[in-house]
Amino acid sequence: MFSTKMRISIYVIVFFACILTLFPVTWALYNSFLAEGEILGRKILSLSLSGENYQKIMETKTYLNTIKNSAITSSLATLISIVVGALGAYGLIRLRRGEKTFAFFLLIFRMLPGLILIIPFYVMFRVMNLLDTYWALILMYLTLGLPFATWMLRGFFMGIPREIMEAARIDGCSEIKIFWRIVFPITRPGIWATAIITYLFCWNDFLYALIVTDRKALTFLPFLTRFLLPTRILYGPIYAGTMFFIFPVLIALILVRKYLTEKFALGLIPK
């Protein structure tokens, strides 16, 4: 057990870690309610708050469309990543040779900088006439989400005792039935966790969407660059737009946090 001094030290460290983590979000939330002239003013704190910046965002015709585009592309890319990644991960744990090598190359591919992939993908999408479409973004997101989902799910699947799957095979279950009736129910919390993290990767993307979209498939983060004017920067709408972008993710994480925490406590941790 920890001593009293050790507990106090841990609480102090956690407290300061929480402050460092929450301060940027809190500061952005505060500035989103300030008038444009007061954001870069000399006053550190101001009580003259208003919703003017949020009104500017909502008065922009394309803001709802960009949120819709972000949701659609992120959801489809996550769904494909989880379905294909789950099947790929199950196939990996069934390999008797080369399983670790394949998994290692998946991890290496996930660690590639996104800038390396942008130019070849841009040229390919231009030839195929896919620029400024949902499929261009989805394919870009799959380069990040699919290797990550396969790697993560492989770890969860490896946590299932092989005796359970062998017993099912002896009873005459096919590999599809073993996956659907045994592997999937046991690792459902891990699949949910992987899906949420993959979705956040896609939802928070800025670089890919900035390069391969323009109007039709424009997502929300590149949309905020419209407030970077040639003569000045409209910080207020950018802060307000950031809050629009963050809160749906926070609400989703709060809703599933308890479920994931309870299930992870059962020992479903990737190996």
Predicted model pTM: 0.84
Residue with tokens 């008797």: 96
Query: Alpha-carbon distance 138 to 16, whole Å?
Result: 38
Q: What angle do CA 237, 211, 229 make, to 5 degrees?
A: 35
**Domain 52-264 classified CATH 1.10.10.10?**
no
With tokens 């992987």, the residue in question is 194
The first and second tokens of residue 212, run together, are 């391969």
Please report, for the chain, the start and end positions of each structural domain, with discontinuous segments joined by +: 52-264
Q: pLDDT truncated to tens, each residue of the chain (271 aa)? A: 567 778 888 888 989 998 988 888 888 888 888 887 777 766 667 667 788 888 888 888 888 899 999 999 999 999 999 999 999 888 888 776 667 777 777 777 777 777 888 889 999 999 999 999 999 999 999 988 898 899 888 888 888 888 888 888 888 888 888 888 888 888 888 888 888 889 988 998 898 999 999 888 999 999 988 888 888 888 888 888 888 888 777 777 776 666 566 555 544 444 4
